[in-house]
Amino acid sequence: MNIVALVQARMGSTRLPGKVLKSIVGMSVIEILLTRLSQSKNINEVVVTTSNKRQDDELQSLVESLGYRCTRGSEKNVLKRLYSAAKSIDADIVIRITGDCPLIDPGLVDECIDKFIRTGVDYLSTDPMTIPDGLDVEVMKFSSIENAYNNATSDFEKEHVTPYIRNSNLFSKELVSNDENLSHCRWTLDESEDLVVLTNIFESFYPNLLFGWREVLKLSMSRPDIFEANKGIKNNEGAVMGNGQKLYKRAKKVIPGGNMLLSKRPEMFLPEKWPSYFSKAKGSKVWDLDGNEYLDMSIMSIGTNTLGYGHPEVDESVIKAIQNGNMSTLNCPEEVILAEKLVEIHPWADMVRFARSGGEINSIAIRIARAATGRDKIAICGYHGWHDWYLSTNLNSDKNLDGHLLPGLKPSGVPRGLIGTTLPFNYNDIDQLEELIKSNNNEIAAIKMEVSRNEGPENDFLQKVRDLATENHIILIFDECTSGFRETFGGLHKKFGVEPDLAVFAKALGNGYAISACIGREKFMQAAQKTFISSTFWTERIGSAAALKTLEVMERTKSWEKITHTGLQIRQHWSKLAKEYSLDLNISGLPAVQSYAFSSNNNLKYKTLITQEMLKKGFLSTPLVFSSTAHSEDDINLYVSALGECFSLVKECENGLDVDSILEGPVCHSGFRRLN
Ligand code: PMP
């Protein structure tokens, strides 16, 4: 009988790339594993089977140089890879070992093979695990793996090789278990913390490589300290965790906070479960790293894509820009045409400066206003980015941004000398602004505000602000980073007929490509020349080319009307569902950037629950929804019917069902607090 051990290994692990070549006591993990496994008395041959990806060439070379055979096959369809390997080797009995088990114990493997032969079953394994994690063995007849290969259909069955056999009653099975349940012992290699523990273990026995697993157990009792590093990792996490969450765990080790934008942190949506990363995005759809497709009924990349993801015309323009060269010693002509177009759309403005992000362009507008007026102080209402000038609002009290989009922002690292230079006022409170201006006599350079975020202007608020600014020679700046192009072709201020002195745009302007603009009256804009505002990548071509095409498509399709219409439809459905399930729902925002919240102390839990359930149904869904022209009637209908089921669940919770009992992970973090 030909008894063959197939060691499944590859370089491309998501959690710990290249783990099988990591070094422990001067040897690679795979070499240690093969050395230990080949001590088995029952196994005729140990063979490594890896993927046919280029990155596994190195692994094959090493394995062959150590004198072992190495076969190659599909990376994802591991069942096919193992079946083909077993067939080509003429195996009668296959032992499946995974490359993350350098502590594999040949004595235990032999015990499994003996029992397998003695009982004559089709399949034997150590799962459900009572032995330590990292000693896993599966033994099967060639005919069992062949049967699985011929009949398994799901991707999961193909990737994980034996679920078809384990979940079917067509196979006779046996288990090898330990009297005491030791499955909490984590001796496998999935994460960098595991490598620390394994290194400690091998160093303790060095130069002996061939110690048994019970000796490791003894060591864990005499030296528990060296087993500490991976205590926080849950066993079998890898099998249930998506590739996105695995990558996010790695991200948090190398990127403070895990990513660059609070609004896209997985914890803001569904901690431990959110797909976190995308492999592809098109129209209203997003695909995660596991190939799952979702309909994006959430923040649409936080409002950058009013024309949907990967708009063909915009992308074509960008591709052309790339083909002609994105950067050169000379400037790109597109920026001039784009500046002229923005001025044409906003006749009160004469000149434009560009940057690439919203925070940047806000800082530029503030610098221009200070340079133009010779004054330092700024009155603000709303969120305007991460820069010192804005965060300084919270220097003397962390309550100063209460009532604005992101309350409680911490100004650590912002010079205390900026205290009192940025002064907040509340939306629709003209008396407060008037008082602020009076008490800072002739010191305020600019009033910087969002035209409307969660509520609309009341009592002619915007015109009154305009008048106050004019009377006091203060520059009025509208921050249209989020509101721009959502309700008009240009700034939201056009709808209200109030003209600022400067306005800034970002987000939607390039439909997913980085470009932001500060437009303004010449007499103020020229002050950009009294100071120094200059940056290398503000000159690249992609941003301007994308914006020019985005504006053309927006104008032609009247995208702002379409996204507002879609937003209003969604809003009506929210209200209808709330009524149907007698839930108290607050809806706010522009129709194209709107959100709902439950009037309940459980609001955050309900938000998490809905995200959790909608994700299962194939939606990236949040209470904050940015609509795009790619959202079709069908999309909305699918969304509303799925959301209805979630609202019904919320209703059950309101009627006594314990929401905690149906949440499958931690509650999401709150960040963007609503105004009301
Ligand atoms: N201003 C407003 C009104 C915004 O909504 C945002 C982003 N949420 C910004 C400025 C900052 O833009 P960015 O994130 O591109 O720096």
Does residue 240 lie within any of the structural domains? no
Paired residues of 323 in beta bridges? none
Tokens of 124: 């034997």
In this structure, are 500 and 537 located in the same domain?
A: yes
Question: CB–CB of 130/180 below 8 Å?
Answer: yes
- 510 CB within 6 A, ligand 1: no
Query: Is the shortest distance between the CB of 100 and ligand 1 below 6 Å?
Result: no
What's the rounded Cα separation, in Å, for the pair 360 and 354?
9
CA-closest residue to ligand 1 atom 13: 358
Per-residue pLDDT, 674: 35
Whether the predicted pLDDT of 21 surpasses 80: yes
Give the span between the Cα atoms of 397 and 402, in whole angstroms: 10
Q: Cis (ω within 30 of 0) for the bond into 424?
A: no
Q: How far apart are CA 69 and CA 60, in angstroms?
A: 9
Which of the two residues, 64 and 236, has the higher pLDDT score? 64
Site to substitute for ligand 1 among 259, 378, 384, most atoms within 8 A of C-beta: 384
CB-based contact 486:508 (threshold 8 Å) = yes
Q: Which atom of ligand 1 is nearest to the CA of 362?
A: 10
Question: Backbone phi, then psi, for 273, in 5-degree steps?
Answer: -130, -20
**Atom number, ligand 1, closest to the C-alpha of residue 357:** 15
Give the residue, out of 364, 380, 481, 518, with the most ligand 1 atoms within 8 A of its beta carbon, to mutate for a pocket test: 481
Tell the burial category of 164 from Cβ atoms under 10 Å away from its Cβ (0-12, 13-18, 19+): buried
383 close to ligand 1 (CB < 6 Angstrom)? yes
Ligand 1 atom 14 nearest Cα: 358
Omega of the bond leading into 207 within 30 degrees of 0 (cis): yes
Mean pLDDT of 186-196: 95
Q: Which of 300, 388, 482, 590 to mutate to test the pocket of ligand 1 (most atoms within 8 A of CB)?
A: 482
Does residue 246 belong to any structural domain of this protein?
no
Name the domain boundary from 512, 531, 557.
557
Q: Output the domain CATH number for residue 272.
A: 3.90.1150.10
Q: What is the 405 CA–ligand 1 centroid distance (Å)?
A: 10
Structure tokens at 163: 């679920």
How far apart are the C-alpha atoms of 539 and 335, rounded to whole Å?
8
The DSSP string of 343-402 is: HHHSTT--EEEEESSHHHHHHHHHHHHHHHH---EEEEES---SSHHHHGGGSS-TTTTT
Q: How many angstroms separate the CA atoms of 499 and 488, rounded?
A: 14
Q: What is the pLDDT of residues 211-244, one digit of tens each?
A: 999 999 999 999 999 999 999 887 667 767 899 9
Judge residue 490's burial from the number of C-beta atoms within 10 Å of its C-beta, 0-12 exposed, 13-18 middle, 19 or more buried.
buried
CATH number, position 82? 3.90.550.10
Residue 431 lies in a domain: yes
Please report the atom of ligand 1 found closest to the CA of residue 506: 15
Query: Which whole number is the average pLDDT over 384-399?
Result: 95
Answer yes or no: do 498 and 566 share one domain: no
Examine the domain organization and report whether 616 and 549 are in the same domain.
no
Closest CA to 540 of 363, 359, 356: 356
Radius of gyration of the chain (CA): 31
The two structure tokens encoding residue 7:
């060691």
| Nearest alpha-carbon partner for 33 in 213, 196, 205, 210 | 210
Co-location of 583 and 649 in the same domain: yes
Residue 421 CA to ligand 1 center (angstroms) comes to 20
- Tokens 């923040």 belong to 299
Ligand 1 near 589 CB (within 6 A): no
Co-location of 565 and 553 in the same domain: no
- Among 423, 416, 428, 377, smallest CA distance to 400 is for 423
Residue 389 has pLDDT above 60, yes or no: yes
Instruction: Please tell me the residue having the least CA distance from ligand 1 atom 15.
Output: 358
Instruction: Provide the mean pLDDT of the chain.
Output: 96
Do 620 and 545 lie in a common domain?
A: no
CATH code of 495's domain: 3.40.640.10
pLDDT tens string 545-566: 999 999 999 999 999 999 999 9
Ligand 1 pocket, residue 384 CB under 6 Å = yes
Expressed in angstroms and rounded, the spacing between residue 527 Cα and the centre of ligand 1 is: 23
Q: Measure 479 CA to ligand 1 centroid, in angstroms.
A: 8
Ligand 1 contact, 607 CB (< 6 A): no
CB of 362 shorter than 6 A to ligand 1: yes
Which one-letter DSSP state was computed for residue 98? Answer: E
Closest ligand 1 atom, CA of 507?
Answer: 15
Classify residue 233: in a domain, yes or no: no
Residue 414 C-alpha to ligand 1 middle, in angstroms? 19
Query: Ligand 1 in contact with 479 (CB < 6 A)?
Result: yes
The separation between CA 207 and the C-alpha centre of its own chain, rounded to angstroms, equals 44
Say yes or no to pLDDT of 156 above 90.
Answer: no
358 lines ligand 1 (CB under 6 A): yes
- Which structural domain range is residue 585 located in? 266-307+560-662
Residue 675 pLDDT exceeds 60: no
More confident residue, 156 or 571: 571
Mean pLDDT of 516-525: 98
Nearest to 637 by CA among 187, 287, 324, 295: 295
- Residue 382 Cβ inside 6 Å of ligand 1? The answer reads yes
pLDDT score at 237: 72
Q: Is the CB of 506 within 6 Å of ligand 1? A: yes
Mapping DSSP to helix (H, G, I), strand (E, B) and coil, where does residue 432 land?
helix
pTM tops 0.75:
yes
* C-beta 491 within 6 A of ligand 1: no
Tens digits of per-residue pLDDT, 282-301? Answer: 999 999 999 999 999 999 99
242 lines ligand 1 (CB under 6 A): no
| One-letter identity of residue 631 | H
Task: Give yes or no: residues 352 and 501 share one domain.
Answer: yes
Of 227, 254, 278, the last residue of a domain is 227
Are 165 and 207 members of one domain?
yes
Cα(510) to centroid(ligand 1), Å = 14
CB 377 within 8 A of CB 393: no
Same domain, 455 and 342: yes
CA of 177 to the centre of ligand 1 (A): 57
Ligand 1 centre to CA of 480 (Å) is 9
Angle at 223 between CA 217 and CA 228, to 5 degrees: 90
Tokens of 173: 């099975």
Cβ 483 under 6 angstroms from ligand 1? no
How far is Cα 152 from Cα 238, in angstroms, rounded to an integer? 21
341 in a structural domain: yes
Q: To which H or E segment does residue 422 belong?
A: strand 422-424
Is there an atom of ligand 1 within 6 Å of 385 CB? Answer: yes
Question: Is 359's C-beta closer than 6 angstroms to any atom of ligand 1?
Answer: yes
Instruction: Tell me how far the alpha carbon of residue 387 lies from the centroid of ligand 1, in angstroms.
Output: 11
CA of 366 to the centre of ligand 1 (A): 14
Residue 210: count other Cβ atoms within 10 Å of its Cβ.
11
- Residue 640 above 60 pLDDT? yes
Per-residue confidence (pLDDT) for residue 45, from 0 to 100? 97
Q: What confidence score (pLDDT) does residue 676 get?
A: 26
User: Is 248 a member of any domain?
Assistant: no
Domain count, the chain: 3
Task: Specify the 3-state DSSP secondary structure of 74.
Answer: coil
* Span 112-120, average pLDDT: 97
Whether residues 525 and 620 fall in one domain:
no
Residue corresponding to tokens 């960098």:
192
CA atoms of 671 and 357, how far apart (whole Å) = 20
The CA–CA distances, whole Å, from 49 to 15, 86, 607 equal 20, 10, 45
Buried b (16+ CB within 10 A) or exposed e, 357-396: bbbbbbbbbbbbbbbbbebebbbbbbbbbbeebbbbbbbe
Tokens, residue 477? 């700046």
Whole-number Å distance, alpha carbon 503 to ligand 1 midpoint, is 13
Nearest atom in ligand 1 to the alpha carbon of residue 483 is 3
Counting from 1 in the atom list of ligand 1, the atom nearest the Cα of 360 is 16
Q: Name 676's Cβ contacts closer than 8 Å, sequence gap at least 6.
A: 454, 455, 586, 588
Backbone phi, psi, residue 260, to 5°: -100, -5
Instruction: Say how many Å lie between the CA of residue 368 and the centre of ligand 1.
Output: 18
Assess whether 354 and 273 both reside in one domain.
Answer: no
**Among 66, 135, 127, CA closest to 100:** 135
Residues 6+ apart with CB under 8 A from 398: 408, 409, 410
CA distance 305 to 508: 6
Instruction: Pick the residue whose CA is nearest to atom 8 on ligand 1.
Output: 482
Domain contains 255: no
- Of 533, 557, 581, the residue at which a domain comes to its end is 557
The angle, 0 to 180 degrees and rounded to 10, between the axes of the packed helices 312-323 and 541-557 is 150
82-104 average pLDDT score: 97
Answer whether 567's CB lies under 8 Å from 590's CB. Answer: yes
55 within a domain of the structure (yes/no): yes
Which residue in 534, 537, 472, 542 sits closest to 511, CA to CA? Answer: 542
Residue 166 and residue 282 in one domain: no
613 lines ligand 1 (CB under 6 A): no
b or e along 632-671 (b: 16 or more beta carbons within 10 Å of the residue's beta carbon)? eeebbebbbebbeebbebbbebbeeeebeeebeeebbeee
* pLDDT score recorded for residue 673: 43
